[in-house]
A and B are shown apart, each in its own frame.
Chain A
């Protein structure tokens, strides 16, 4: 990723961004195609597993257990990783994490030379903290080595999906980017041609650049090992060939024991890319001393980053957000994401998981529109490999947003809240309620018209109310309310006696 990243602090409201993006028919076509293909593949390999639901149960239980004892497992990981020759750093927030990484990169050169280049594995955590931009400002260029991330970086674009960040681009668009940025006027147009171009472009970097930056899929507390799953081999290149490796991981990435991987390594690939297993998983523990053969980097750093995660932990109902293993299945399954693509979410975490994770990472100060970016259909919950009840968390966060916006000065800036408060007043008194019903019937008169069956309809409302009638017609109020009918009936009964 290059340039200014997707920043929830400055991004427009989801509803505003989405309105613009749904007009991009090429993007929508690309996203629809990609999400459909992954969903079909996922469904096929999930159906192969008779114990899938039991794996999900186990995955959920492992993640729940980990969060309950997160301090214990982080300290255990730190101890074991350090004992194996790794260096563990802690960062309270994104800024600290960026500064630590920049410091480590600068110190990683041989004979006091400060490197000006690093190679990078696709990592959502480093996207979250906009690390590339910070490195660039510190005079270090980061080469993204994942094919999709390379497309994003060379296209000066932003990632739109957790697993397949460039799924909003088709082959013709990618070819154009590669022809321009790699200076290849005769590049062919098949996916194979494009992948070959990426291989040639990056090969030289893999063999030359001596410092690598990665994220992490799992940190194993029991052994101090780190696990990264990938497809292309670019990950292995970055993890194996450089002299120095710096892995940035959210504190939520820890798992208790090696054995727990038997669950997560079944859930993740099938959910993420619809493969029984992704082509490569790497697991390593600290550094391998030279006398034993010298496998991999000489120096290995892990940066454990909080960045609001401990805050999320405090909210018992929303804590399950941290169970996420970043498979992206909820994005592919989401009818909203399928229409808008990822950029509308204004965050590197798009789709249903982004709608609950992003506002919480912002400690509810930004991205408050995201919990509303959902129809609450529940498709995300159904495919989540660790059973995060995303709809439940969405509603919980909507509740938080409403509370926030209906307190203090916020109320003055929010006509909807003002209107609802007024309605609440009306509902409190029978007399006021009856009067307002009468007034309503009078007020709607000039707006209503009758259809062929003699039913009254309103198809236009003025001002702010117009949003409602833009996509639907409104029935006029009935001539008589139930109460009026009931009271009249009682009166007639008594009269008849």
Chain B
């Protein structure tokens, strides 16, 4: 945890965007790699790198089905990831409350 209480794994623009996007899905749902890439606007290489960091933290789960050109990679937020995003949102609200207006939705 960083000094300001914001989880450093999440507190980076691309990973924050990834976490929030995945959190928009109901629990138990997952997104294909290509749809997620489309939603967050990252190159495949960058997306893979950020997903690996989130995966290592246990915040997302990636699954690969099939092989070759038809292989499908799916990504979902884990319960630990959802809880971490909730904690991040709470910490961010507290920081912004002290600083002034502009709160995360």
- A and B interact physically: no
Chain B interface residues (CB < 8 Å from chain A) = none
